[in-house]
Amino acid sequence: MKASAFVYPWDVNGDPEAPARIAALGVQQVTLAAAYHSTRALTPRHPRHRIVTAEHAAVLYPAGDRWEGRELRPYAAGDWAPGDAFGEAATALADAGLEVHTWVVLAHNSRLGAEHPDTSVVNAYGDRYPWAPCIAQPGTRAYLTDLAAEAAVRPGAHGTELESLGWYGLQHLHAHDKTGGIGLGDAGQYLMALCFCPSCREGYGRHGLDADELAAAVRTALEPVWQGAPSGGGTARSSEAESGGGWTGIEKLLGETLANTTRAYRDETARTLQEAAVRAVREAAPEGFQVLLHADPVSYHVGANPGVDPAHILSVADGVVVPCAGGTGTLTPFAAQGREDAVIAANFTVVSGMGGSPGTLAEDTAEARRLGATELRLYHAGLASDGDLETVRAVLAGR
C-alpha cells in the first residue's frame, strides 16, 4: 500500500537532514506544497527556525508569463518560501529516493478576497467570505483553472493533488476565531455556504429561482438556529438534530424544492470547474502524470475537501484523497464505484497535537484497506513531533 507524507518546502530547504528523515519513515512519495494558503506552522526540527508564518496565499515557485496583464493572478511568497522554494525542496527529496507530487490549494485565498472583494462568496445576509473565492464567477474559474495547470505541473513532479477545488463555506480557521457559539451542523453550514454574488444570483435564475426570495428563505430558515434550535429543523434534541440532520435536515429548514434546486446548481458548478481544471492539468502534463482531488463523498459539503459525486469524479480524475480523521466510512462511496484503476487514498492526521492518532495508524490503515483504500496519506511529516514520526515509522515498517 503506497504511502505519501505531506510536506512544505520550508520543512526541507535549509535542513540537509530532512529528506533522509522523511524517506526513513517508510513512505515512497511526498506530497509537496506548490501553491498554499496562509498559515502559521511549526518546524520542530529545522536548524534555523521553529515557526514559519506564511502571511498570505502564494505560489511557492516563480509564476509564469501566462499571468502578465491579468487582474487575478497568484501572489509570490515572501521570505517564508523565496525563489523556487518548491523546486529546491523537490530536488532534495527526489535525491533521497522519494517520488514528488505537487500539493495545490485552489479556491481558498484570503488575500485574493481582501484585494478583490467582488470575487468572494457572499452569504444570504450580504457578508463576504474573503477566504472563499466564488467558483461560479467566470474570472475566478479561469484563474483557478490556470493556477491548477501551472502549480500542478512543476519540473520533477510525477503527479498532483488538488485541494479546495470546489465550494468553500463558513468553515475556516481564522485568527482568534469566535464563530463556534452556535451549533450550525450540516444544515446550517449548507445554508451559510449558499452564495449570492451576481454570478450565483444569475445561476439561481437559470434554475428557476428568484435570488431575493431564496435569500429571504435562507434567513428565515436560519432564524430559529440563531435562537438555539437544532439546525436539523426539528425540535427534539437528538444526535441527528444536533449534527444538522444531513440532507434531510437541510430540506426541513429550506424546503425540498429550494434545497434540491440550489444543490443542483452548486453541484453542476463544481463539477464543470473540476472537469476544466483536470483537463487543463492533463494538457500541461507529460503522459502518465497522476491527477488526484481532495474530496468528500457528500456533494453538498464544502471546504478543503469539497463534496463531489463519487461516480463522476472518478470518471474525471485518476482518483481521490479522502479525509479519514473522522472515520474511514468516507472511503466506501468511492470504493463502491468499482473502478479498479482508481486511486483511493485514505488521509490520516498523524500529528497528536492536532488531534491525530498515530498510535492507531496500524488499525486505521487495516480498516481503510478493508473498505477499499489503495493508498495512504499522512498529514504531516513536517508538523509532527519526533514521537509521532517514530510511531509512523514503526507502523510502516510493519506493513
Q: What is the Cα–Cα distance from 397 to 46, expressed in whole angstroms? A: 25
Residue 183 confidence (pLDDT): 80
Tens of pLDDT, residues 207-253 = 999 999 999 999 999 999 888 877 664 433 333 333 346 899 999 99
What does pLDDT average to over the chain?
Answer: 94
The helix-helix angle for 211-226 and 256-284 (nearest 10°) equals 110
Given pLDDT bands bounded at 50, 70 and 90, which one contains residue 137?
very high
Q: Domain for residue 237, yes or no? A: no
Residue 181 confidence (pLDDT): 75
pTM: 0.95
Q: Are 357 and 324 in contact (CB under 8 A)?
A: no
Please check the confidence at residue 148 and state whether its pLDDT lies above 50: yes
Given pLDDT bands bounded at 50, 70 and 90, which one contains residue 178?
low
Q: Domain for residue 218, yes or no? A: no
Per the model's pLDDT, the better-predicted residue between 177 and 130 turns out to be 130
Q: Domain for residue 167, yes or no? A: yes
Q: Label the pairing between strands 128-133 and 120-122.
A: antiparallel
> b vs e for 311-328, b when ≥16 Cβ sit within 10 Å of the residue's Cβ?
ebbbebbbbbbbbbeeeb
Q: Domain for residue 387, yes or no? A: yes
Q: Domain for residue 259, yes or no? A: no
Please check the confidence at residue 53 and state whether its pLDDT lies above 90: yes
Q: Are 9 and 81 in contact (CB under 8 A)?
A: yes
Q: Are 329 and 367 in contact (CB under 8 A)?
A: no
Q: What is the Cα–Cα distance from 304 to 174, expressed in whole angstroms? A: 14
Tens of pLDDT, residues 326-363 = 999 999 999 999 999 999 999 999 999 999 999 999 99
Q: What is the Cα–Cα distance from 5 to 24, expressed in whole angstroms? A: 11
**For position 288, which CATH number holds?**
3.20.20.80
Q: Are 123 and 179 in contact (CB under 8 A)?
A: no
Q: Domain for residue 288, yes or no? A: yes
Q: What is the Cα–Cα distance from 377 to 101, expressed in whole angstroms? A: 12
Q: Domain for residue 147, yes or no? A: yes
What domain count does the chain have? 1
Q: What is the Cα–Cα distance from 65 to 45, expressed in whole angstroms? A: 36
Phi, psi of 33 (to 5 degrees): -60, 130
Q: Domain for residue 185, yes or no? A: no
Domain extent, residue 343, equals 2-179+270-397
Query: Which three-class secondary structure string do you get for the chain?
Result: CEEEEEECHHHHCCCCCHHHHHHCCCCCEEEEEEEECCEEEECCCCCCCCEEEECCCEECCCCCHHHCCCCCCCCECCCCCCCCHHHHHHHHHHHCCCEEEEEEECCCCHHHHHHCHHHEEECCCCCEEEEEECCCCHHHHHHHHHHHHHHHCCCCCCEEEEECCCCCCCCCCCCCCCCCCCCCHHHHHHHHHCCCCHHHHHHHHHCCCCHHHHHHHHHHHHHHHHCCCCCCCCCCCCHHHHCCCHHHHHHHHHCHHHHHHHHHHHHHHHHHHHHHHHHHHHHHCCCCCEEEEECECCCCCCCCCCECCHHHHHHHCCEEEEECCCCHHHHHHHHCCCCCCCEEEEEEECCHHHCCCHHHHHHHHHHHHHCCCCEEEEECCCCCCHHHHHHHHHHHHCC
Tens of pLDDT, residues 165-176 = 999 999 877 766
Tens of pLDDT, residues 272-290 = 999 999 999 999 999 999 9
